[in-house]
Structure 1
């Protein structure tokens, strides 16, 4: 299991631009067969604007959340910093010390505590699963939800809810994108200058792969989206385009959340697309899910792309 979620790849898997059948492959990257992390070279790791350093084994320790920038957030509760052995991993390992995670998982920073608690209950009770059964980020959450205590969830939820999300995603409309590979349940730029048509996809990659793999909470991302997607998404979000209701009715007029309803502005477009798809296909069936399922049932995959692109372009 540990090797499955480590982030440094030795095998590159190109993602093809063809439109997918079933869950869109670009939104659900899966590690290639035989995926293994790169060997530890023994050198300590560092990131920009931090005096901290960690070894490679520390950046891969499921029971350690690296704290690169302690000035960015309060002290981490123990459940966030270290988890509880043997089966409750540190929340901050995957979601980072500031809660913002990456394209492969949820951005928890600033979510209502009650919403986080409800999602953990849904994972535990089988009301929130995943459209792609072998994706570790979701299967690990389902497993963890069955082992973590209610009090631990409450502490973690209060911590993440108290955090202010950072602006970290740059949305770029383009016809062509860098060729990518799956680098640990998310996409990364191959870095060789090769390009391919974007097609009907969003390609979200770290600006600095090593920085993100070192679990730096200040890592930033580029989200390449089809030309015109942001404007189309703005119209769909505002009015529903005759297919849905305005997102602002539930998520607030600025899309920064309303009561227990989560904010959408500035969130990962890969993550947003997965959630919209899973509401459409009955993968999420917990509290509030019927409202979302009805709202998105008539949207096409291109609509999901446009909505996700627009929401990602907003300031969180």
Structure 2
């Protein structure tokens, strides 16, 4: 199985927690590969170590927010809400069905809150734009039936998906997957090979840059961070992510993925209900590979993946997911 380097803590700083599936800002500075005493890489599951106290989150003031190029406006109270999706560019996508735009309180969060109206999502969740209807319906059933969990039970986005899948009606599931299946994925992640990266910390279930003036060795990581944290927190679908990978990862990853084309297609953009893996979040893909290994993820599609990942090392995962993220989706 895989192993990672031990943690070197530079001090803890609060900035993110999960309450009822909602992401609230708190953060933790890390100079690390994983949390002390844990085997899961913190860059793939960005969480505070158990028992670490969180600083109180800043309270919304009602300030009106805008993003470049949009005439829309939302307050800082509305943007984090689970039942209202900030739709900054409504002309760039089809009309969202109710379950995507506002959900159904109290049990069904608006799908677009996490996955965004574009379906491209963020590192803590899955990019669902353009995935097949059959694949997404099966995944919702797996979440509902306990066949798809997380290797880290505290991970809020997976918990939220399980809860939503258990509460949603079949009609709501159908409406959501029809919408996301109709979308065309866009280039959302810029991949950079490097030996050193900006100093990072744990943010709201994603890694964020702590200090642009300080750097650290990348180690054996894919470090996926927002291009512009402020715009990411505003849920701006025009502001993507950069994924730093060790030098040589793309060449190594290309070689390692040659066998993936047998199921995922020659361009790795999926075949039928086998999903696209090109241009997707490397953090999310790493979590899924590990979840297949640990048995946290089961079901029809998992049965095909388990033999593939059984002996895969973390170093191989870094190269594979970094390369896949670099491709056109």
* 2:85 is the alignment partner of 1:72: no
Deviates more, 1:17-26 or 1:224-233: 17-26
Alpha-carbon offset, residue 13 of structure 1: 2.5
Instruction: Tell me what 1:92 maps to.
Output: 112
Rounded to whole Å, the distance in 1 between the matches of 2:30 and 2:61 is 26
Q: Structure 1: how far apart are the matches of 2:83 and 2:160?
A: 14
With over 3 angstroms needed to count, the CA separation of the structure-2 counterparts of 1:35 and 1:203, relative to structure 1, is farther
Find 1:175's aligned residue among 168, 172, 195.
Answer: 195
SS of residue matched to 2:99: helix
1:134 aligns to 2:154 (yes or no): yes
Alignment of 1:226-241 (within 5 A): 226-238=246-258
Which residue in the other structure is 1:253 paired with?
A: 266
Distance between the aligned counterparts of 1:218 and 1:288, measured in 2? Answer: 32
Cα offset, 1:201, TM superposition: 0.6
How far did 1:283 drift? Answer: 1.1
| Residues 119/250 of structure 1: CA separation in 2 closer, same or farther (3 Å cut) | same
- The count of aligned residue pairs is 308
Q: CA deviation at 1:194?
A: 1.2
How is 1:45-56 mapped onto 2 (pairs within 5 angstroms)? 45-56=65-76
1:218-242 Cα deviation digits (max 9, x unpaired): 221110001101110000001xxxx
Question: Quick one: structure 1 residues 284 and 4, their matched pair in 2 at CA, closer, same or farther if it must change by over 3 Å?
Answer: closer
1:270-281 equivalences under 5 Å are 270-281=283-294
- Counterpart for residue 298 of structure 1: 311
Instruction: Report which of the two has the higher share of strand.
Output: 2
CA contact (8 A) 1:3 1:36 kept: no
Q: 2:213 aligns with which of 189, 193, 213?
A: 193
**1:60-118 Cα distance to aligned partner (Å, 9 max, x none):** 11001110011210010000001001110100011111111100000010010111110
Q: SS at 1:65's partner residue? A: coil
Alpha-carbon distance in structure 2 between the residues aligned to 1:95 and 1:214: 13
CA RMSD for the aligned pairs?
Answer: 1.6
The 8 Å contact of residues 110 and 163 in structure 1, kept in 2 or not, is answered as yes
For the Cα contact (< 8 Å) 2:33–2:41, is it kept in 1?
Answer: no
Give CA-to-partner distance per residue, 1:162-206, whole Å, 9 cap, x none: 000110111011111111122211111113411111101111000
Unaligned ranges ≥5, structure 1: 239-245
Structure 1 residue corresponding to 2:204, chosen from 171, 178, 184: 184
Does structure 1 residue 26 correspond to structure 2 residue 36? no
Pairwise CA distance, 1:4: 6.6
1:221/1:278 CA distance change after superposition, 3 Å: same
CA positional deviation for 1:43 = 2.0
Find the partner of 1:61 among 81, 105, 117: 81
Which 4+ residue blocks in structure 1 deviate beyond 4 angstroms?
18-21
